[in-house]
């Protein structure tokens, strides 16, 4: 087959692929897909999976310090769920990696080298019990908004995984909300701790959805994922949805949002707010956040110490 014939064949395959996703068909792991689509999925799903695993670490720190047995059991179950989500998503990513002869082990090496990023919020410290509540209520709430936007993703294995994950994330958000409500109805000291936690997390929550466009930070994959119907909304649309859902709830608890410019523009029907420091965002996601190295080191030591388990399972399957 000549070069021209191969190019025409690839063009025909691409047209058929676009027609399938436009018709609402689900793409499966063994189906033909353009390289751009495969790479976008690998980056998105591997980052999502690793973020689930790294995201369990801030709350893991509170398992021995939770204020009651009931809270301890609740946060232990949540940590277990998050690790399970991570493993499920890495298996989905692993199928996409097969043409490159790579697997989950390669993804872990990419994490340790800094090539694979994880969500900015999980680089942050969780110093107080209020921080554990904010993670459960607002961070998981933000995650639910982004993930439900991809429930009907064109890639079938990811879509199916998200249906299971989102169902469990709803329980996680309720868990966090119950912590927040108890603190908001508690002593003045507890209310102050909650306000300080919100102050500390607010900028990170805005960053969670990513920049509005690539001009903000120099890179953004939202256009590619929307193009291939992996998601339907832009980063800014998701951030606006978060504001609409959570700002009234936050204010109803007597809390103050740490942004004096925040207001809803009735004419434009959008929330006006102070932009986070996107330079700081780039520093954080390149593993220069407050807890980046400590959590990476914990993950690295755990991975190395448990190598014998992977070796044993691998030997048993051969």
* Residue 220 confidence (pLDDT) above 70: no
Three-state SS at 298 = helix
Q: Return the domain boundaries, the chain.
A: 33-317
**Per-residue pLDDT tens digits for 240-261:** 999 999 999 999 999 999 999 9
d(CA 175, CA 76): 11
d(CA 166, CA 168): 5
**What's the CATH class of domain 33-317?**
mainly alpha
Three-state SS at 272 = strand
**Per-residue pLDDT tens digits for 186-206:** 999 999 999 999 999 999 999
- Structure confidence at residue 2 (pLDDT): 60
* Residue 218 confidence (pLDDT) above 60: no
Which residues partner with 210 through β-bridges?
none
206 to each of 56, 114, 238, how far by Cα in Å?
A: 20, 23, 10
Q: Give how far the C-alpha of residue 223 lies from the chain's centroid of Cα atoms, to the nearest Å.
A: 18
Helices (H), 209-234: 214-217, 222-227
Question: For the chain, what is the mean pLDDT?
Answer: 94
Q: What is the DSSP letter of 98?
A: G
Report phi then psi at 271, rounded to 5: -85, 130
Q: Tokens 């969780």 sit at which residue?
A: 126
Q: What is the DSSP letter of 154?
A: S
- Structure confidence at residue 203 (pLDDT): 98
- Structure confidence at residue 8 (pLDDT): 62
d(CA 197, CA 218): 30
**Per-residue pLDDT tens digits for 298-310:** 999 999 999 999 8
- Structure confidence at residue 219 (pLDDT): 53
Q: Is the pTM of this model over 0.75?
A: yes
- Structure confidence at residue 4 (pLDDT): 56
pLDDT > 70 fraction of the chain, expressed in percent and rounded: 95
* Residue 35 confidence (pLDDT) above 90: yes
- Structure confidence at residue 190 (pLDDT): 98
Contact 137, 131 (CB under 8 A): no
167-172: long-range contacts, CB 8 A cutoff, minimum separation 24: 168/81, 168/85, 169/140, 169/143, 169/144, 170/144, 171/81, 172/78, 172/81, 172/82, 172/136, 172/140
**Per-residue pLDDT tens digits for 36-76:** 999 999 999 999 999 999 999 999 999 999 999 999 999 99
* Residue 3 confidence (pLDDT) above 80: no
Contact 253, 184 (CB under 8 A): yes
Three-state SS at 263 = strand
């Amino acid at each position: 087959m000549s070069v021209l014939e191969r190019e025409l064949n690839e063009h025909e395959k691409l047209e058929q692929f676009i027609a399938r996703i436009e018709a609402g068909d689900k793409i499966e792991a063994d189906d033909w897909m353009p390289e751009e689509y495969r790479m976008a999925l690998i980056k998105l799903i591997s980052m999502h999976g690793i973020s689930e695993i790294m995201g369990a670490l801030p709350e893991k720190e509170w398992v021995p310090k939770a204020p009651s047995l009931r809270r301890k059991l609740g946060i232990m179950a949540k940590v277990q769920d998050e690790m399970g989500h991570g493993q499920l998503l890495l298996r989905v990513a692993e199928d996409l990696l097969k043409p490159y002869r790579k697997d989950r082990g390669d993804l872990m090496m990419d994490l340790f080298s800094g090539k694979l990023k994880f969500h900015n919020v999980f680089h942050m410290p969780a110093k107080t019990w209020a921080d554990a509540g904010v993670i459960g209520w607002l961070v998981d709430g933000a995650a639910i908004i982004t993930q439900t936007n991809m429930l009907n993703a064109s890639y079938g294995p990811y879509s199916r995984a998200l249906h299971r994950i989102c169902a469990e994330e709803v329980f996680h958000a309720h868990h966090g909300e119950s912590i927040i409500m108890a603190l908001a109805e508690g002593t003045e000291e507890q209310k102050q701790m909650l306000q300080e936690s919100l102050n500390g997390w607010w900028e990170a929550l805005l960053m969670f959805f990513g920049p509005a466009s690539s001009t903000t930070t120099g890179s953004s994959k939202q256009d590619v994922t929307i193009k291939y119907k992996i998601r339907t909304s832009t980063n800014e649309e998701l951030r606006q949805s978060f504001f609409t859902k959570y700002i009234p709830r936050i204010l109803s608890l007597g809390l103050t949002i740490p942004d004096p410019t925040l207001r809803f523009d009735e004419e434009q029907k959008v929330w006006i707010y102070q932009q986070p420091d996107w330079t700081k965002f780039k520093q954080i996601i390149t593993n220069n956040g407050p807890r980046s190295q400590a959590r990476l080191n914990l993950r690295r030591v755990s991975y190395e110490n448990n190598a014998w388990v992977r070796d044993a399972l691998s030997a048993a399957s051969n």
